[in-house]
């Protein structure tokens, strides 16, 4: 079924939250969405549902949201697909956004898929770039995502149906403040607890080493050049001294020296910290895909011809195993 696409307007960003905290990816998407809205000449809006969500409006206005659509209800205290879906669907069907952006998190992937099915529209998952196609009359959204195991980039668009929906990888876009006045639109939605198939009995936090690398301003990353698993500690020590975190290349994960949750790159996480130190990393294109937009890149490599030096702000030709502890010592003495 095709939709009357002229009825749809504005860019909407789903605000994911947990324990009263907005997920960073939602702020990143507000920044990107604001640019798309300017391109389209429409508004950038935030939307969400939850137990107490109106409190987010100050932060959302700081990040440029012009409107905030929400439903508040104690039934929505913990995430469950069905009540979230039904109340979000109510907002979407009532106000008809042209574009919906959702973080490609566990929750985001779940809710986006079920919403797209109900809305009878397309969904591009795990997008890494978003642009407007000014050549098309409808100014379609062009959504780029890796495909065939990351070997090709596919540009996808949704010509006939609306909203155009995409989940976007965390860390791809920067979250930049741009305060505006926000208009709050509260909607009521009636829930029937006995009709919701899932009940939350208890919330159990699992111990996991999952880390969101994009939260950090300083990242000390190691590649195969660090030589052995025990040398991860050299990355950890410098990261701790500089108030950052550590990461690795895919080679290091493949060698079993570090978990996948620490991998930066095309098939790992995308980061853009203020400082990225790449120690013993050659600079393969797939690694660069995840870190090349870092503000300052410091490369440490034995090989003066290593490709990482082509994008580095500063380069140190030398042995990372000697240099990393010396940097840690230097900054500890400061």
Binding residues for FAD: 224, 249-250, 263-267, 280-287, 301
Q: Which helix (H) or strand (E) holds 202?
A: none
Bind-site residues: 224, 249-250, 263-267, 280-287, 301
With CB under 6 A, what is the number of residues at the site for ligand FAD? Answer: 31
Q: Where in 139-178 is the site for ligand FAD (CB under 6 A)?
A: 149-151
Q: Which residues pair with 142 in a beta bridge?
A: 131
What is the distance between the alpha carbons of residues 172 and 270, in angstroms, rounded to a whole number? Answer: 6
Q: Exposed (0-12), middle (13-18) or buried (19+): which is 305, by Cβ within 10 Å?
A: exposed
Q: Which residue is nearest to ligand FAD (CB)?
A: 265
Q: How far is the CB of 14 from ligand FAD (least distance, A)?
A: 26
Per-residue x/- track, 283-322, ligand FAD (CB under 6 A): -x-xx--x---------xxxx--x------------xxx-
Q: Check residue 214 for interaction with ligand FAD (CB under 6 A).
A: no
Contact by Cβ (8 Å): 278, 218: no
Q: Which residues contact 131 (CB under 8 A, 6 or more apart)?
A: 141, 142, 144
Q: Which is nearer to ligand FAD, 26 or 266 (CB)?
A: 266
Q: Which range binds ligand FAD by CB under 6 A, 5-13, 25-33, 203-211, 220-228?
A: 220-228
Q: DSSP secondary structure string, 180-197?
A: ---EEEEE-----GGG-S
Contact by Cβ (8 Å): 265, 293: no
Give the start-end residues of each E strand in 73-128: 99-103, 123-127
Q: Which range binds ligand FAD by CB under 6 A, 59-67, 160-168, 237-245, 260-268?
A: 260-268
Q: Check residue 282 for interaction with ligand FAD (CB under 6 A).
A: yes
Closest CA to 221 of 154, 121, 111, 312: 312
Q: Which is nearer to ligand FAD, 14 or 309 (CB)?
A: 309
Q: How far is the CB of 298 from ligand FAD (least distance, A)?
A: 12
Given the rule CB under 6 A, which residues bind ligand FAD? 149-151, 223-225, 227, 249-252, 263, 265-268, 280-282, 284, 286-287, 290, 300-303, 306, 319-321
């Amino acid at each position: 079924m095709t939709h009357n696409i002229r009825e749809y307007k504005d860019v909407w960003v789903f605000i994911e939250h947990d324990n009263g905290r907005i997920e960073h990816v939602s702020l990143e998407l507000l920044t990107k969405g604001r640019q798309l809205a300017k391109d389209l000449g429409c508004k950038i809006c935030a939307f969400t549902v939850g137990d107490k969500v109106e409190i987010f409006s100050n932060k959302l206005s700081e990040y440029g949201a012009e409107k905030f659509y929400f439903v508040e209800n104690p039934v929505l205290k913990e995430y469950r697909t069905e009540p979230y879906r039904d109340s979000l669907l109510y907002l979407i069907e009532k106000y008809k956004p042209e574009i919906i952006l959702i973080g490609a998190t566990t929750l985001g992937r779940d809710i986006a898929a079920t919403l797209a099915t109900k809305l009878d529209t397309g969904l591009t998952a795990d997008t890494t770039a978003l642009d407007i196609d000014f050549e098309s009359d409808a100014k379609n959204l062009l959504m780029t995502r890796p495909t065939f195991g990351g070997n090709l980039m596919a540009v996808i668009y949704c010509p006939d149906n609306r909203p155009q929906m995409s989940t976007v990888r965390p860390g791809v876009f920067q979250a930049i403040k741009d305060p505006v006045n926000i208009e709050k639109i509260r909607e009521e939605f009636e829930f029937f607890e006995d009709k919701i198939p899932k009940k939350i009995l208890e919330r159990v936090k699992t111990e996991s080493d999952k880390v969101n690398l994009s939260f950090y301003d300083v990242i000390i990353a190691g590649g195969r050049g660090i030589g052995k698993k025990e040398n991860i500690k050299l990355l950890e020590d410098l990261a701790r001294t500089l108030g950052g975190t550590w990461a690795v290349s895919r080679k290091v994960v493949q060698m079993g020296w570090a978990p996948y949750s620490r991998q930066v790159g095309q098939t790992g996480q995308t980061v853009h910290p203020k400082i990225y130190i790449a120690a013993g990393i050659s600079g393969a294109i797939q690694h660069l895909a995840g870190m090349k937009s870092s503000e300052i890149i410091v490369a440490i490599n034995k090989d003066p011809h290593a490709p990482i030096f082509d994008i580095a702000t500063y380069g140190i030709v030398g042995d990372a195993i000697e240099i990393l502890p010396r940097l840690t010592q230097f900054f500890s003495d400061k």
